Amino acid sequence: MSSQEANADLHRGENYEHGDHAPGDEPPGDVGHWIRNANIGLGFSIVLTVAAFLMASSTFIYAPAIPVALIVLAIAQMGVHLVFFLHITTGPDNTNNVLALAFGVMVVFLIVAGSVWIMGHLSHNMMPMEQP
């Protein structure tokens, strides 16, 4: 059996060893693993959302540090969604998905950075308003 045939068998779920995969990178087959992973992702999402609400409404954390903690929880929430719901993993079948995600993040960053830059320099190009 050639390595390409072995790879094809691996991706079809044949000769698949359990435990050697990412959460979103399971072989096709029974639906149980998809349901289990969706429920695990849902559990993580609920825990992170509740933690964010509790953190924002309590005095448990020093007040100036709350925005940083909320950003960390938001990044964790995005990671959970990418892996458990969008099934973006480092598997060989997901290279295009990861590249599309990276391109999307770059485009959003450029739009936000460009907007901030334009708004920051807009006041220099405006005519002064007359004071009454």
pTM: 0.58
Asked whether 34 and 116 are in contact (CB, 8 A), the reply is: no
pLDDT at 47: 96
* 105/50: higher pLDDT: 50
What is the per-residue pLDDT for 15? 43
pLDDT digits (tens, 9 = 90+) for 27-73: 666 677 778 888 999 999 999 999 999 998 888 888 889 999 999 99
Structure confidence by residue, pLDDT tens digits, 6-20: 455 445 444 445 555
Token readout for 126 is: 């405006």
On whether the CB atoms of residues 9 and 15 are closer than 8 A, the answer is yes
Cα separation, 102 vs 122, whole angstroms: 30
